[in-house]
């Protein structure tokens, strides 16, 4: 089956502020180069515009127009418009998981913001990230608004094709329904990992655990499986909060793995996006 070209461009809704203690078990003396002087890590709220098979897709939907003490968002619609895409032109939104900094623009004032878009996410997040929250919780209110509008299409299988050249794989642990998106195929793949990993250093240190992981051990096991797979396939990867939308590859290093940022590819990605060429299989 010929696979059409897919283009991917990073966009950002703003930034999150994570205290150094967000990583529960990090010895910051060992990784002093990353330790924030004021104790606060500032990381982008990443999202991606993906164009494939004649469809425009948004991977993750930012924090949205709301004030929270741990983040500042609101830029995503402007960044989409700068790439020539109005909210009404988005055909599909894929949320890696249903935490607020990845779903905030899905609904505004009780209405779908991307009015034509079908919204896809890992089905297990409906219970973990929505149903068990109080009625006043914004995550729950957003998903209930989309449910009323008939926009939701949960994913309940591993490794499924969403459109030609765009697959969703199950990467549970941060949330139980967390999914990652793999663009392209064969040796030409780019994986968008959401919050399966927060910082590139976690590839060397897979046991760094986020305090917001629903199941920290499962999250660490998911990361280990991803690094084994990507180091074997040469897959490019990035994640929602990687500083500067850095992309790179996972390499075998000592008795584990390490991230090798590709500066040229990251610079092109930031400025022009990335095109994953189609090929025949
Ligand atoms: Zn996040």
pLDDT digits 0-9 by tens, 173-196: 999 999 999 998 776 899 999 999
What's the 278 CA to ligand 1 centre distance in angstroms? 30
Whether 61 contacts 47, CB under 8 Å: yes
Ligand 1 center to 195 CA (angstroms):
5
Q: Say how many Å lie between the CA of residue 174 and the centre of ligand 1.
A: 9
Ligand 1 midpoint to CA 1 (Å): 35
Q: How far apart are the CA of 109 and the centre of ligand 1, in A?
A: 22
Band (pLDDT 50/70/90 cuts) for residue 161 is very high
Identify the sign of the CA torsion 124, 16, 145, 47: negative
For residue 96, the CA-to-ligand 1 centroid distance in Å is: 9
Residue 268 alpha carbon to ligand 1 centre in Å: 24
pLDDT tens, residue by residue, 80-126:
999 999 999 999 999 999 999 999 999 999 999 999 999 999 999 99
DSSP-assigned letter for residue 42: E
The CA distance from 232 to 254, in Å, is 15
Q: What's the chain's length in residues?
A: 281
pLDDT at 31: 85
Does pLDDT of 11 surpass 90? yes
CA of residue 279 to ligand 1 center, whole Å? 33
Q: How confident is the model at residue 271 (pLDDT cuts 50, 70, 90)?
A: confident
CA of residue 193 to ligand 1 center, whole Å: 10
Cβ burial, residue 111 (10 Å; 0-12/13-18/19+): exposed
* 142-161 average pLDDT score: 96
CA distance 108 to 251: 42
Of the listed ranges 24-33, 132-141, 175-184, the least confidently predicted one is 24-33
- Ligand 1 centroid, distance to 45 Cα (angstroms): 7
Given a cut of 50, whether residue 280 has pLDDT beyond it is no
Predicted local confidence at residue 39, as pLDDT? 84
Mean pLDDT, all residues of the chain: 91
pTM: 0.93
Share of the chain above pLDDT 90, in %: 71
**Average pLDDT score over residue span 7-27:** 89
Confidence of residue 148 (pLDDT cuts 50, 70, 90): very high
Q: How confident is the model at residue 4 (pLDDT cuts 50, 70, 90)?
A: low
Distance, CA 241 to ligand 1 centroid (Å)? 7
82 Cα–ligand 1 center, Å: 23
Q: How far is the CA of 95 from the centre of ligand 1 (A)?
A: 11
Q: Which of 1-15, 26-40, 266-280 is predicted most confidently?
A: 26-40
Cα–ligand 1 centroid distance for 240 (angstroms):
7
């Amino acid at each position: 089956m010929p696979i059409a070209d897919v283009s991917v461009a990073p966009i950002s809704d703003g930034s999150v502020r994570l205290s150094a203690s967000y990583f529960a078990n990090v010895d910051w003396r060992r990784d002093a180069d990353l330790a924030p002087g004021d104790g606060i890590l500032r990381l982008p709220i990443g999202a991606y515009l993906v164009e494939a098979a004649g469809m425009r897709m948004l991977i993750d939907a930012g924090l949205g127009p709301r004030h929270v003490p741990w983040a500042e968002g609101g830029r995503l619609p402007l960044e989409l418009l700068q790439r020539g895409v109005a909210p009404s032109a988005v055909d599909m939104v894929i949320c890696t998981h249903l935490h607020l900094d990845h779903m905030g623009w899905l609904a505004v004032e009780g209405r779908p913001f991307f009015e034509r878009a079908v919204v896809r996410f890992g089905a297990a997040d409906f219970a973990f990230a929505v149903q068990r929250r109080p009625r006043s919780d914004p995550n729950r209110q957003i998903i209930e608004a989309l449910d009323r509008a008939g926009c939701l299409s949960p994913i309940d299988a591993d490794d499924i094709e969403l459109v030609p050249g765009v697959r969703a794989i199950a990467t549970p642990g941060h949330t139980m329904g967390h999914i990652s998106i793999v663009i392209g195929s064969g040796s030409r793949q780019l994986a968008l990992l959401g919050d399966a990993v927060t910082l590139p250093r976690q590839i060397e240190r897979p046991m760094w655990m986020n305090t917001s992981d629903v199941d920290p051990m499962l999250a660490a096991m998911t990361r280990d499986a991803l690094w084994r797979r990507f180091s074997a396939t040469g897959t490019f990867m990035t994640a929602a909060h990687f500083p500067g939308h850095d992309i790179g590859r996972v390499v075998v290093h000592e008795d584990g793995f390490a991230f090798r940022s590709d500066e040229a590819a990251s610079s092109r990605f930031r400025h022009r996006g990335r095109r994953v060429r189609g090929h025949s299989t």
